[in-house]
Amino acid sequence: MITEYISMPEDAPDMEGIRRAGEIIKNGGLVAFPTETVYGLGGDARNPESSRKIYAAKGRPSDNPLIVHVCRLEDVAPIVREIPEEAQLLAQAFWPGPLTMIFHKNDVIPYETTGGLDTVAVRFPSNRIAQELIRASGGYIAAPSANRSGRPSPTIARYCREDLDGRVEMIIDGGEVGIGLESTIIDLTDKRPIILRPGYVTREMLEQVLGAVDVDRTTISADSGQAPKAPGMKYRHYAPKGDLTLVEGTKDAVVSCINDLVRSASQAGKRTGVICTDETKDLYRADRIFSAGSRQDNEAIARHLFRILRECDDLELDVIYSESFGGSGLSMAIMNRLMKAAGHKCIKV
């Protein structure tokens, strides 16, 4: 298959390009497109064949359900059994935006799209290109992140191309995404709302609307002994090819521990990298030092993290050490992705 590339600015989508992309999806094909979180790999959520193609293009296990993207609030009711009051409140507060809600599904969405589950994940993205594409495709786009399974989610179109060239009909380049981490997922099908994947919409923000909200333990620790409630969270994700380890502790202890580890790795002939912050970047010695941004600016760290993980591969680094980040607010999402990328290897100093 030859993949077609088109590009457009988010504030002025090329409507002829969008129309053609919508036709591809309506006809059962796949289009990668920008959202405010990460790029998505879209197919018609109501077409079981499209969902099968998405799994094949990503190399993703088919028990890992897809998120259904809509472009209007009123498009949720036709695909779910009921809309709980909590969902209405969350939609008012955070939609369109980086929040995915889990509902009981009805027959409109096939089991191929939900990985065999009776529930469906729904998100209303705020990116204008995404919204126009959903409209042009008939209203329901199933879209996982547009990476090959196991790699970091793409934050620019070039990364979609690296992973999906020749495997999808079209890639829409809409520039760099704003957020850089996937949406927050909240499950509303149980007695108490529970966060299955932390994201830009933080626990604190959700609790302001709903009161107490639980967090699936598996999002942070590897040894809770439970299976994650979001099937996709059980897979090793985002892992760079090199060996990534997190180091946690006070600033001085972390810097000296990482420098010691880098020194022995270099002596063993390995190519080394350090993931750190603006405040510490001049304190390290390694083949490559990546600052994700200022420690005061979690949004910058979130936006840069997946690019840095990909660059570790481009530079063929053998070992990578990363500083770690606090556990609340947006840092919860940052740590969740970093811990997964590191296979939960974390040294406490």
Q: Looking at 37, 145, 202, 277, which residue binds Mg ion (CB under 5 A)?
A: 145
To ligand TXA, the closest distance from the beta carbon of 124 in angstroms equals: 10
Q: Which residues bind ligand TXA (CB under 6 A)?
A: 35, 37-38, 40, 64-67, 100, 102, 114, 117, 119-121, 123, 143-145, 182-183, 185, 196-197, 229-233
Nearer to ligand TXA by Cβ, of 122 and 274: the residue is: 122
Nearer to Mg ion by Cβ, of 238 and 325: the residue is: 238
Nearer to ligand TXA by Cβ, of 160 and 247: the residue is: 160
**What letter does residue 2 receive in the DSSP assignment?**
P
Backbone angles phi, psi at 291, to 5 degrees: -95, 130
To Mg ion, the closest distance from the beta carbon of 60 in angstroms equals: 8
Residue 333 near residue 200, CB atoms below 8 Å: yes
Q: Tell me if 189 contacts Mg ion by CB under 5 A.
A: no
**What CA–CA distance (Å, rounded) separates 279 from 299?**
16
Residue 102's binding partner, choosing from Mg ion, ligand TXA, none, with beta-carbon cut-off 5 to 8 A by kind? ligand TXA
- H helices within 137-202, ranges in order? 157-164
- Relative to beta strand 194-197, strand 184-187 is antiparallel
To ligand TXA, the closest distance from the beta carbon of 285 in angstroms equals: 36
CA distances from 51 to 64, 113, 140 (A): 11, 5, 12
CA distances from 337 to 53, 95, 271 (A): 26, 23, 23
**What CA–CA distance (Å, rounded) separates 25 from 69?**
13
Nearer to ligand TXA by Cβ, of 10 and 248: the residue is: 10
CA distances from 77 to 72, 169, 189, 348 (A): 10, 30, 15, 47
Binding mask 102-141 for Mg ion (x = CB under 5 A): ----------------------------------------
Nearer to ligand TXA by Cβ, of 197 and 295: the residue is: 197
Q: Tell me if 149 contacts Mg ion by CB under 5 A.
A: no
